[in-house]
Amino acid sequence: MVAAAEEKHGSTPLMQLPASVRPPLHKPASRARPARQCPGITLPPAFEAFYALHWKLYLDYALAHLAETAATAVVRETFGELATQWPFIVSRLNPNAHAWGILTARTWAVSNLGVQRACSDVHYDALVLHRLLGYSTTDTADVMGEEPSKIRYVVTQHAG
């Protein structure tokens, strides 16, 4: 076999060839590993519905305060936290308000704006969602876990 290889490559002995051009003497056994797969996670249908209803609005709110990469990370981390705490969240009196509080706390922690607001968190968030982002008072109230009448009152008090 070595003689055949030497004949193939001229008079240069096989082992003197650079490793990059040296033909393998034997074919190594295949060590192909199966592709890594993430473990399948089954989320509760209620969480999937909550995510489907709120992710866009959560992202819009975060984008109003942060750059796209940071906003996306905040929303992803918020939903990760909500998923891990889902049984606790849905046992709360107002799950939407609790979830909204997690998102807004994360958004403000990352923003580092430290802005002193002239109004309460509810007023501020309602104005951002309704006036700045154009969401209806009903959608704003739903995502924040507030009564629609309260949101309508807040946004009309700050008209102008």
Which pLDDT tens digit goes with each residue over 17-48? 555 545 555 555 556 666 666 667 788 999 99
pTM score > 0.85 for this model? no
d(CA 83, CA 48): 9
- Do the Cβ atoms of 85 and 127 come closer than 8 Å? no
pLDDT of residue 5: 46
